[in-house]
């Protein structure tokens, strides 16, 4: 039986859900996918870095600038009122998307990185002391490592690392062994950008809460793939970037439980976040504005709302079944590809296939794939510690989204065969 026939057999249980998801109709909504690169149809497999934008998002941002462009809040004119309504409706849209209890628990940021930094600085200022411990995993993005290292340097707290097994799974036994009453924060990725591992975040939160620790989930890679319910998870903080889920760059979200956000001080001063300023002292606005100094990314928030609305109109069961089928098929092709080494083979994976070609540097692989119209990412993926653990310089990474197809997987592996002929 051929690789294609085997893969088709293995995904037969999801046939109805996959069939219900019209990937070609989805692709038609993303104008960038229609182009050619180096004379070849674009095969965009760099979704872990950023996703492409559907017409609905492009149109929403265009309409904002064409029809209502104005600053928000406190405006005394119609355009400002319209912009403010759209901006705050976007916040409510995110609240519903995450199933947060309150709209003021949704803080606008520039992205996942800023969100984590705000929490590290603000929560750290309020609650972290010398001798306290912070846990992160070995598979974290640098954005979920460095802010905590900086906090530990300032406070005398200790950063401890949850090990990752060779399969790419989090070592949950080791995690349980690290938990104690000194642990004040557990900050882990929901889905690894480098390995595709889907972490057991519900279990992590339950165990951390049992010792009194708070939990931050980096959801940058999860929000475009899974339904997120922060109340069901009981997450203390959940953060993500809009551009990973079909929205514009430069806008992101920090969700936090109101009780925690109320107790945390602002980290940036300026307009919007103040209630009253005088040289004798300043008082701050309440939530969410005390964390939103300066003019926000208004068009980005509106674009993010449009992306959420776009996702909400899709069949989520079909979407997830389609993405799983594409990833499973890619793994089937990988297993039959001589000299192909998969990096990260966790029990639960989503959307990411990191790999090495025996005898070839990942950068050379990426460059030659690009010459054939295939867009992948190469390097350490801002996850140098896990690359060091695996004793590799980095990987080539194909990351999949809702508009990728089995045919594009075939194109990837046909291109890899040509790369092997050239480099090996």
Q: How far is CA 78 from CA 59, 82, 175, 305, 371, in A?
A: 21, 6, 54, 21, 50
In this structure, are residues 196 and 218 in contact, taking their beta carbons and an 8 Å threshold?
A: no
Give the Cα separation of 89 and 84 in Å (integer): 8
Give the Cα separation of 250 and 259 in Å (integer): 27
The candidate with the shortest Cα–Cα distance to 239, out of 403, 84, 100, is: 100
Give the Cα separation of 226 and 218 in Å (integer): 13
185 three-state secondary structure: strand
Give the Cα separation of 116 and 254 in Å (integer): 8
DSSP letter, residue 265 = P
The candidate with the shortest Cα–Cα distance to 260, out of 213, 207, 220, is: 213
Q: At what angle do helices 316-335 and 406-423 cross, to 10 degrees?
A: 30
Give the Cα separation of 297 and 293 in Å (integer): 11
Active site residue 152: no
**Any residues with CB less than 8 A from the CB of 382 and at least 6 apart, and which?**
141, 142, 143, 193
Q: What's the full length of the chain, in residues? A: 424
In this structure, are residues 217 and 237 in contact, taking their beta carbons and an 8 Å threshold?
A: yes
Phi, psi of 244 (to 5 degrees): -85, -10
Name the strands in the sheet holding 340-343, side by side, starting at the edge strand that comes first in the sequence.
340-343, 352-357, 395-399, 377-379
**Any residues with CB less than 8 A from the CB of 176 and at least 6 apart, and which?**
207
Which of 211, 382, 384, 392 is catalytic? The answer is 382
In this structure, are residues 383 and 192 in contact, taking their beta carbons and an 8 Å threshold?
A: yes
The residues facing 240 across adjacent strands are 253
Catalytic residue IDs: 382
């Amino acid at each position: 039986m051929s690789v294609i026939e085997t893969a088709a057999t293995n995904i037969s249980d999801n046939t109805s859900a996959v069939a219900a998801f019209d990937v070609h109709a989805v692709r038609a909504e993303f104008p960038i996918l229609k182009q050619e690169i180096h004379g070849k149809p674009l095969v965009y497999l760099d979704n872990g870095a950023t996703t492409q934008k559907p017409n609905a998002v492009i149109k929403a941002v265009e309409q904002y600038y064409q029809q209502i462009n104005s600053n928000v809040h406190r405006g005394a004119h119609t355009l400002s009122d319209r912009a403010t309504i759209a901006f705050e409706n976007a916040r409510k849209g995110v609240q519903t998307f995450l199933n947060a209890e309150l709209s003021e628990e949704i803080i606008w940021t520039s992205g996942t990185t800023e969100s984590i930094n705000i929490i590290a600085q603000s929560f750290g200022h309020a609650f972290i002391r010398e001798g306290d411990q912070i846990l992160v995993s070995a598979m974290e993005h640098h954005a979920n490592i460095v802010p905590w290292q900086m906090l530990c340097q300032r406070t005398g707290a200790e950063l401890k690392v949850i090990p990752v097994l060779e399969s790419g799974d989090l070592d949950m036994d080791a995690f349980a062994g690290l938990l104690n009453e000194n642990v004040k924060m557990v900050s882990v990725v929901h889905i690894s950008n480098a390995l595709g591992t889907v972490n057991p975040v519900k279990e992590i939160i339950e165990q951390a809460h049992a010792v009194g620790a708070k939990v931050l989930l980096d959801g940058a890679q999860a929000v475009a793939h899974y339904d997120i319910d922060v109340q069901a998870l009981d997450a203390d903080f959940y953060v993500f970037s809009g551009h990973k889920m079909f929205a514009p760059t430069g806008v992101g979200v920090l969700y936090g439980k109101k009780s925690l956000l109320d107790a945390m001080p602002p980290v940036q001063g300026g307009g919007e976040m103040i209630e009253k300023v005088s040289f004798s002292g300043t008082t701050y606005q309440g939530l969410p504005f005390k964390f939103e100094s300066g003019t926000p990314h208004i068009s980005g928030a509106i674009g993010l709302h449009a992306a959420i609305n776009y996702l909400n109109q899709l069949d989520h069961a079909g979407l997830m079944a389609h993405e799983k089928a594409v990833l499973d098929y890619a793994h089937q092709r990988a297993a039959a590809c001589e000299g192909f080494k998969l990096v990260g083979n966790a029990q639960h994976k989503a959307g990411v296939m990191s790999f090495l070609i025996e005898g070839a540097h990942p950068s050379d692989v990426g460059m030659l794939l690009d010459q054939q119209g295939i867009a992948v990412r190469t390097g350490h993926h801002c996850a140098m510690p896990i690359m060091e653990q695996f004793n590799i310089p980095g990987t080539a990474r194909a990351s999949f989204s809702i508009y990728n197809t089995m045919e594009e997987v075939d194109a990837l592996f046909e291109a890899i065969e040509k790369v092997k002929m050239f480099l090996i």
